[in-house]
Structure 1
């Protein structure tokens, strides 16, 4: 099939491109490189199925008009502003990218009858209240403009399913980590902790460290997102993906640093947007897609550590 990945040079986008190419599809990737990096796609540049990488913006309708003339079967829409603190500091940028940009992509998908798989986030949820995990029916809570914009994007995507019969899926992966994730301020906590650990630096934790996260290895995430595109069973649905086990940031830091003395506590930069417990319930993904994560947290951290050791130039 013909596949478009918006945000294709980003962290998860890069792994999704890889999975789609491995599955034999023709792939186009679009990215404005505000967060993604063209280097993420270096190994695929000569791949016969990577038809085009386009440096462009989903807010540019002319670029989308030209791109969608390729008549894609599926659009995996990952392009977005993804940083919570940035959304608090500059909400208009996040709204423009995550809501208006998504609307632009939806209009193209409607025009060309292209299925859309919309990348949302677990950050739209209110905290988990017990160890049964968060299902797709769990209350949402827009605790940041980022979460609010993603909820708006979700609703627009599902409105095109109901109003126009456009095949559409909303995916809510939990905290994704792995090779190619940034290790700076916009990166994930695991990548940041690993890089600091390897450098012999202290690991800084915002707040108490009692907040928990359900960490999903990026290859598992890419497999899940790809399958949501392939399957008609999830059309019109919201679907979670996570490991199904959470860990406190305190315990994560000890696992990586192997020394409690190297952990330092910092004043929280956005306590109002903190979600204290995030734990995924995967039952729906397992039922509809027969999907479950293949990598344990320990396995994923080992693979990520090995990659960071070998690829410091990229991060």
Structure 2
């Protein structure tokens, strides 16, 4: 009988791709999502798959979370509040979801002895220097309540590993983009720029645009998460994933802009939350999991543009 994976945040952007990767590998997938950030449209392609089910629910509801763990082999926890700017305006909601909600998931895993993968974020890291990428030993220095609550969730998860011997893996994927990502302020810069270019609107860059990001395509990210979730070597580990290359927001805008699309620099809403340089050192993911990204930035942008055109986004 196929193993069952519980995916919290299954209807979100990355959760959707993780769900697809698991189904493609023969897992039964039980999704859990409150649809505040994700949508049923994101998982509509799986609606007729007998190996997929999804339940509407909030991870802040401990009893409802616990009820999802019948006959579950692994839990991939992606449900989270992820808006950096909104976290500065409303830090309480991020704390309740990313810290309290994560503890509810952990406790359900402990009661059922279920392996947990916690999907974190690269935004917990301090600024990198110009010569190397960020590895898992790099100092952390969260610059927003979003990053702070995600780091707190990681610490609680690792306390369950050390204190209860619960099989836990913490993952820190770098900036991920691709189809099904929101193209609003809460979404990613690649999706926002691509949507604006298709609409003939000016691409707006916060600040001077010299800040850099390591941009990883959605299918590469999903494959990393599933590989780590099914590897015994990943238990008790914190693992980064990215391409190992970073690009400035200025260069990214030039790559995406077509025709007469303009590029404009605007004042940053929350400059204190900005990280100047994000570049992953993916060595550990390669050595531990045999994982490597396969989609270049140029190819990924082209795939996203094609999908947006087909969806008329």
TM-score, scaled relative to structure 2: 0.98
Q: Identify the match of residue 31 of structure 1 among 30, 33, 43.
A: 33
Show the counterpart of 1:236.
236
Counterpart residue number, 2:123: 123
Say which SS state the counterpart of residue 140 (structure 1) adopts.
Answer: coil
Partner in structure 2 of residue 157 of structure 1: 157
Deviation of 1:131 (Å):
3.1
CA distance in 2, matches of 1:107, 1:99: 12
Q: Is the 1:19–1:222 contact (alpha carbons within 8 Å) kept by the matching residues of 2? A: yes
Map 1:152-301 to 2 at 5 A.
152-258=152-258, 262-301=262-301
Q: 1:257-298 CA distances to partner (integer Å, 9 max, x unpaired)?
A: 046971011110110011000000000000000101011111
- Where do 5+ consecutive residues of structure 2 fail to align? none
1:141 aligned residue: 141
- State how far apart, in whole Å, the 2-side matches of 1:300 and 1:57 are: 32
Deviation at 1:227, TM superposition (A): 0.6
The answer for the alignment partner of 1:10 in structure 2 is 12
Q: What secondary structure, in the 3-state scheme, does the structure 1 residue paired with 2:58 have?
A: coil
* Distance change in 2, residues 1:66/1:136 (3 Å): same
Find out whether 1:53 has 2:62 as its counterpart.
no
**2:114–2:167 Cα contact (<8 Å) kept:** yes
- Structure 1 residue matching 2:31: 3-state secondary structure: strand
Partner secondary structure for residue 234 of structure 2? coil
Mapped partners of 2:289, 2:260: distance in 1: 40
Provide the C-alpha distance between the structure 1 equivalents of 2:142 and 2:184, rounded to a whole number of angstroms.
Answer: 25
Conserved? CA contact 1:120–1:171, under 8 Å: yes
Contact 2:161 2:167 survives alignment (8 Å): yes
**Aligned equivalents of 1:260 and 1:243: distance in 2?**
30
Moved beyond 6 Å, runs of 4+? none
Superposition RMSD in Å = 1.0
Please give the secondary structure, in 2, of the residue aligned with 1:233.
Answer: helix
Aligned to 2:63: 62
1:30 alignment partner, SS class: strand
Give the Cα separation in 2 of the matches to 1:43 and 1:128: 39
- 1:185 is displaced (CA, Å) by 1.5
CA distances 1:198-238 after superposition (whole Å, capped 9, x unpaired): 11110000001000000000000000000111001011010
For the Cα contact (< 8 Å) 1:125–1:138, is it kept in 2? Answer: yes
Distance in structure 2 (CA, Å) of the matches to 1:35 and 1:261: 29
Q: What SS does the corresponding residue of 1:129 show, helix, strand or coil?
A: coil
8 Å CA contact 1:128, 1:278 repeated in 2: yes
Partner of 2:94: 94
How many residue pairs get aligned? The number is 311
- Normalised by the length of structure 1, the TM-score is 0.97
Match of 1:78? Answer: 78
Matched-pair contact (CA < 8 Å) for 2:66–2:105: no
